[in-house]
Amino acid sequence: MLRELREGLASGTLYLVVFLGLLTLEVTGLLELHFEEDAVGANITTGGDALWWGYATATTVGYGDQFPVTMGGRIVGVVMLTVGVALFATFSGFLANAFLSSKTPKPAEADTGGDLGAALIELEGLQEQQQRAIAALRARIVELEPATRD
């Protein structure tokens, strides 16, 4: 049960990160629009502009086509940079882990009785390696013995 909880924790955390990312994008977009839509010289005047600005900011692309001009908008921008970049980096880490980690268990791990079974199989493998190393060392000693007698 604990193993399933640990394994499910990663996917639950991924869903939480995605949810927080979308929530951050929506909230900062609405706040940005609140501060910018009626400001003089503002270029974030629609909901679409605010979402585009938020996504470009969170991904650190920052095209520069949308940017806040008011003090309130810039404060929201600082929040978006800090929270959005952290969430996007965490999401990217989850994606990288998904691509790099193996999803299929190794044959020896597939039919073990949990962590104890896996540890026993690993121990048996290490013992086999040790026996092979000892045999190789003994063979090398036998090869070198005639040279040391001369």
pTM for this prediction: 0.59
Range of 122's domain? 107-149
DSSP H helical segments within 80-114, as ranges?
85-100, 107-110
pLDDT tens for the 150 residues of the chain, in order: 566 556 677 677 788 888 889 999 999 999 999 999 999 999 999 999 999 999 999 888 888 899 999 999 999 999 999 998 899 888 888 888 877 876 655 555 455 456 888 888 888 989 999 999 999 888 888 888 776 665
Are residues 62 and 115 part of one domain? no
Total domains in the fold of the chain: 2
Are residues 7 and 55 part of one domain? yes
Long-range contacts of 133-142 (CB under 8 A, 24+ apart): none
Are residues 124 and 87 part of one domain? no
Are residues 64 and 17 part of one domain? yes
Query: Residue 68 is encoded by which pair of tokens?
Result: 């806040």
**Nearest alpha carbon to residue 57 among 37, 34, 30, 86:** 86
CB 34 within 8 A of CB 73: no
| Domain CATH code at residue 64 | 1.10.287.70
Are residues 114 and 62 part of one domain? no
Distances (CA, A) of 77 to 49, 61, 72, 90, 123: 14, 14, 9, 19, 54
Are residues 89 and 32 part of one domain? yes
